[in-house]
Amino acid sequence: MVDEKLVKQFIAGIFILILLVFTFLIIRPIFMSIILGLILAYACYPIHKRLSLKIKNKTLSAAITGIMVLGVLLGILWFSIPPLINQIFDAYVGLQTFDTLGLLKKLFPPFFSSPQVSANFAAAYNNFVSNSAKISLEKLTNILVNLPSLALKALVVLITFFYGLRDGDKLINLLKDSLPFNKSTTNRFIQKSKDVTFSVVYGRVVIGIAVGILAGIGFFIAGVKSALLLSFLAIIASIIPMIGPWAIWIPVVVSLFVAGHTTSAIFLLFYSIIFVTVFENIATPLLVSKRSKLPTSLTLLGIIGGIIVFGIFGILLGPLVVAYLVVLFEIYLEESVNKSQ
């Protein structure tokens, strides 16, 4: 005889499984937008917290914070995207017309002693430039074609951002109730997670953006061509560990010296050393001094793997995933040591 209770449990399990599958299918296209909204909410939470102390209304405070952040982001995009696109095309034209082979022959004459090697390198270089331009144009076309989808994803980011600000405390409490640990372990996990999130979001990304912008100011003052594009590259380089803004401003200084712009080159050299490098070395330990720091090697591995899996957002998501895994291992080891004593 079939157990009626077992049949009901089986049907309930199938029903839950179907709901989970459909939920996964619904969430999957906007998963990255949700994560981005939550990270943005975390980064802007201190602003919301200060406003809520004065306004005494979390909904209004979250709305004002959201409007402020949205206004800043739209302003940056409105004024930076058109010149940035122009500078990208100018850089492409410059790469095509620049005598790269001649420069390399001067720097490394033994490698280009054979005419065949020089011809092969020139063909490979031209092919690389053409393919890069083709891929960039395809990406830009895809963005224009997918504008409605991007607009919906941007809306998801804004909604998640707003509710993440307003109900951040409730989300933390929900996470505490959902974790399969005892109260002490859960509190330690939450605190350690906050520390590593702070370290990655502020210690790596926010400081990286600030350092890149500071380097960009030097490019503008020195009158460097494609200063906006170089500023964007400096921001990316500043976020990635073991690279830093020096990977951008040192070649720029060298190119200024080679081009005969000695005054601009000397100014940019001293500006980058005194302001950019010093600010980076002071701001990082000052902001992340009492917070858990993820080892540089793991941060770099997280960024590389994150970019491969998530694209450009992997610069942020990759280290966070690795950081949370490290936290789980730390807590597991602590629990093991406590049990053995």
Question: Where are the domains positioned within the chain?
Answer: 182-334
The token pair at 337 is 């040591």
| Per-residue DSSP letter, 109 | G
Q: Which two tokens stand for residue 174?
A: 């929900």
User: Looking at residues 294-318, what average pLDDT do you find?
Assistant: 77
The least confident of 17-31, 72-86, 227-241, 264-278 is 72-86
Q: Looking at the predicted structure, is the pLDDT value of residue 99 above 70?
A: no
Most confident among 14-18, 172-176, 313-317 (mean pLDDT)? 14-18
Closest CA to 276 of 201, 197, 221: 221
Give the model's pLDDT for residue 105. 67
**What's the confidence (pLDDT) of residue 294?**
65
Confidence of residue 307 (pLDDT cuts 50, 70, 90): confident
Of 122-136, 185-199, 209-223, 301-315, the one with minimum mean pLDDT is 122-136
According to DSSP, residue 98 is labeled S
Cα angle vertex 158, ends 16, 71, to 5°?
175
What confidence score (pLDDT) does residue 108 get?
Answer: 66
**Three-class SS of residue 241?**
coil
Contact 8, 129 (CB under 8 A): no
- Model confidence band, residue 6 (pLDDT cutoffs 50, 70, 90): confident
Write the CB contacts of 117 (distance below 8 Å, at least 6 apart in sequence).
111
Task: Place 113 in a pLDDT band, splitting at 50, 70 and 90.
Answer: low
Distance in angstroms (rounded) separating the CA atoms of residues 41 and 141: 30
Query: Given a cut of 80, is residue 81 above it in pLDDT?
Result: no
pLDDT reported for residue 333? 76
- Rounded to whole angstroms, the Cα distance separating 178 from 186 reads 10
Give the pLDDT score at 337.
Answer: 65
Q: Rounded to whole angstroms, how far apart are CA atoms 65 and 41?
A: 10
* Rounded Cα gap, residues 197 and 178, in angstroms: 19
Tokens at 306, concatenated: 């994150």
pLDDT (0 to 100) of residue 39? 83
d(CA 274, CA 322): 34
Distance CA 289, CA 283 (A): 10
13-22, 43-52, 130-139, 159-168 — which is least confidently predicted? 130-139
Average pLDDT of the segment spanning 289-308: 71
Report the distance separating Cα 16 and Cα 3, nearest Å. 20
> According to the model, what pLDDT value does residue 293 have?
62
Six token digits for residue 121: 């390198």
What was the pLDDT predicted at 104?
Answer: 65
> What is the number of alpha carbons within 13 Å of residue 198 lying toward its C-beta?
18
Task: Tell me what the mean pLDDT of segment 139-165 comes to.
Answer: 79
Distance CA 139, CA 74 (A): 21
Q: Identify which has the larger pLDDT, 120 or 55.
A: 55
Q: Alpha helix (H) ranges present in 108-241?
A: 115-145, 147-166, 168-178, 183-198, 207-221, 227-239
Q: What is the pLDDT of residues 314-332, one digit of tens each?
A: 777 888 888 888 878 877 7
φ, ψ of residue 179 in degrees (nearest 5): -70, 140
Q: Which pLDDT score is estimated for 285?
A: 66
Average pLDDT over residues 101-128: 68
Retrieve residue 112's tokens. Answer: 């280009």
**What average pLDDT does the structure give for the chain?**
78
Orientation angle between helical segments 314-340 and 296-310, nearest 10 degrees: 130
pLDDT (tens digit per residue) in 243-265: 788 888 888 888 888 778 888 88
What integer is the mean pLDDT of 210-237?
Answer: 87
Region 195-222: what's the mean pLDDT? 84
Residue 35: both structure tokens together: 């994560």
CA–CA separation, 224 vs 90, rounded Å?
Answer: 13
Strands (E), the chain: none
